[in-house]
Amino acid sequence: MGGETWPPQEVKLTPGKRVLFLTKDLELVRKQLYEGLDLRMEDISVDELLDDINTDVMTPAWVCFDHDPAAIAENAYAGLLHEGSRVLEKGALIDGGFEVIVSGHRKGTGSSRETAAQCERWAGIRIVIAASFAPIHERNNINLGQLMADHAVLQRLQDGESIPLGEFTGKFDPVTRLILENGGLLSFARELKEGRVTLPDVRPGGRPMTMAEKIISSKLIGRGDGDVSVAPGDAVLASVDGGYSHEYTTAQVHSFLSEEYGNSYQIANPSKFAVFEDHLLYATDVPRYGPFVSKIETLRDMQRVFQKHTGVRDYSAEDGVSPGICHQVAREEFIDVGDFIQATDSHTCMGGASNALTYGVGSSEYANLVHNQFSFVKVPESIRFELFGKLDPGCTAKDVILHILDKYAKNSDTLDRSMEFGGPGLSSLSMDERATLCNMATECSAKTGICEADDMTVEWLLERRDDLDEETIRAAFVSPDEGATYHGGVHTIDLDDIRPMVAHPGDPDKGIPSDPTNGAYIDELGEVTIDIAYAGSCTAGKDDDFAYYAKVTKAALDAGMKVHDDVECFIQFGSKNVKELSARMGWTDLFEQAGVKLIDPGCGACIGAGPGISDNPDQVTVSAINRNFQGRSGPGRLYLASPLTVMTSAFTGKITAWDPQVFSE
């Protein structure tokens, strides 16, 4: 494969290059790396190969602070440990001269981080062999132009066979084949722009569609003037209305574009794209991130370079204070009804509250869409939730989504699907509450979440946007067609039946409801004393969330209570606008009187990068954030709950559901 244009029409192994087998016997891996041992496929059974290699093993979080390809490559597989030491020492994959890497089943599980695929690509790997791949990791490989195959193909390659490129690409849809055969997403985009790629015909119109399908069909490239439609599984290219990146990812985006299009590259529509300084604002104060302070500063500097170069919206911190968490600010300021928005974060789907199609992508996908204004889309299946009734005053939308996680997501009903919300009960939920539902579609392993639009949508946007008018907003409303197909089914949720929910540590889908007969949690949970109550994040740092916090705090103060002596309570603002609202309403004064510790807007404990994280495994946290994977917010045990429950628990010292009488008992 050596100096050929990638990929060649006939694929064969390069003389002198090697194959690395990632075996369960890690000493055997070491022998290949450091003693020159070369293995063949006939020497190894598939059962002897490592399964479920997750992206944290391939590139632990600290590796993601690098944006330079060489730095990422030299730390490939830094998380693969044996007896406490790295199996692949720094530079081992590069120095070994490998071009093929081999593992077992489900390669690339876990986080969607694209660095996991990049570490192999930039270390010289061009063919990845596995029995199966996690879907997002597979997509990242495709975008980077990595060929993937099974163990039988490797056997043929090692036998000296030259294999036609089509055998590597033939299992994919027509557009993905074109992307792979042109060397990856950015190379494909260049060929498309220069007229050297012909796209497949789009599906004719007439098919009833869901909201997600209708938005995608309205953005299709190659649609012509005729009526068109899409269906689940269709592979298409769609124009993108906007997006955003943050300091964890922007440096890579800038590097990709400079390498592909030259240092003078420009983007066409900068006003609908943005950069945010929100994710790592407080990370430098966290001890475990101490060794990476200089790298974090480099990421910030690179983001500033990108912003000045492109002219995209700038949401950098001023005097150490961020304008807010990207998902919250984007919906406040530039996501419109009917938009197709993509950004470099899994909770981008929060924007679906505004009747828009929004979801997260990797850095290379974002680099393409910000420059070329289109994205590859595999049309998702949909699942619909019809809401009826009205929530009990002790419940919020967080309880609704924890209910959905418990009843539907853990059974994979929502997996990779568009979660669509409608029904008469939706009108009883504010726009902020709808944003909570859409935000946590990610925790449901869904593609995205999207709400139907109504009068409340119009009112909320007009209050925040002076560039819109009611007629324009209503004209953009997207509603599902009668007869649309929901492969995940149509499910009725009676909001009257929702009880306050708490999710056990480890996973958001481990939720249990309260017992409505006595206000205490069911026996399975029992009495759980807490050390930390954390309120805020993109999921729970919105206007309405702060109204909940203030209601509970006022009731506690009226009862002569302050935050429990054994509890640290933190509230983090979701945006500068939310912080200003809290001050105007007098809520900030209430919080300070009660002993709450307030944190300026930005990401924090949710990603283990700010105040509110636990310090040891014995600590217990109840939190309003969106995910509670072990270790994500410190080593302690973290329970998920609603803003009302979290705030109530801060005063009682144990996990407690909100009730107007709770502080008088």
- 515 and 622 together in one domain: yes
Domain with 28 in it: 10-190
pLDDT at 3: 47
485 falls within a domain: no
Task: Express each pLDDT in 21-54 by its tens digit.
Answer: 999 999 999 999 999 999 999 999 999 999 989 8
Q: Give the CATH number of the domain where residue 22 resides.
A: 3.20.19.10
DSSP assignments along 498-513, one per residue: ---EEEPTT-TT-EEE
Q: pTM of the full predicted structure?
A: 0.88
Q: Give the CATH number of the domain where residue 573 resides.
A: 3.30.499.10
- 603 and 560 together in one domain: yes
- 562 and 665 together in one domain: yes
Task: Express each pLDDT in 442-498 by its tens digit.
Answer: 888 889 999 999 999 999 999 999 999 999 999 999 999 999 999 999 999 999 999
Residue of higher predicted confidence among 354 and 318:
354
- 173 and 309 together in one domain: no
- 105 and 241 together in one domain: no
2 falls within a domain: no
- 33 and 179 together in one domain: yes
- 177 and 215 together in one domain: no
For 537, other C-beta atoms within 10 Å of its C-beta total 30
Count structural domains, the chain. 3
Give the phi and the psi of residue 130 in degrees, each rounded to 5: -160, 160
- 277 and 155 together in one domain: no
Which H or E run contains 450? strand 448-451
DSSP assignments along 339-399, one per residue: -EEEESSGGGGGGGGGS-EEEE--HHHHHHHHHHSEEEEEPPPEEEEEEES---TT--HHH
Residues paired with residue 357 on neighbouring β-strands, in sequence order: 340
Structure tokens at 95: 């120095």
- 250 and 183 together in one domain: no
Residue 517 has pLDDT above 60, yes or no: no
User: How many angstroms separate the Cα of 173 from the Cα of each of 146, 206, 343, 482?
Assistant: 16, 23, 24, 29
460 falls within a domain: no
Task: Express each pLDDT in 77-88 by its tens digit.
Answer: 999 999 889 999
70 falls within a domain: yes
183: left (phi over 0), alpha (psi -120 to 50) or beta: left
Percent of the chain with pLDDT over 90: 68
Which H or E run contains 273? strand 273-276
pLDDT at 522: 46
Name the DSSP letter for residue 411: G
- 541 and 650 together in one domain: yes
- 146 and 293 together in one domain: no
- 167 and 246 together in one domain: no
Residue 638 has pLDDT above 90, yes or no: no
Lowest mean pLDDT among 232-246, 287-301, 332-346, 405-419: 287-301
501-503 and 511-513 strand pairing: antiparallel
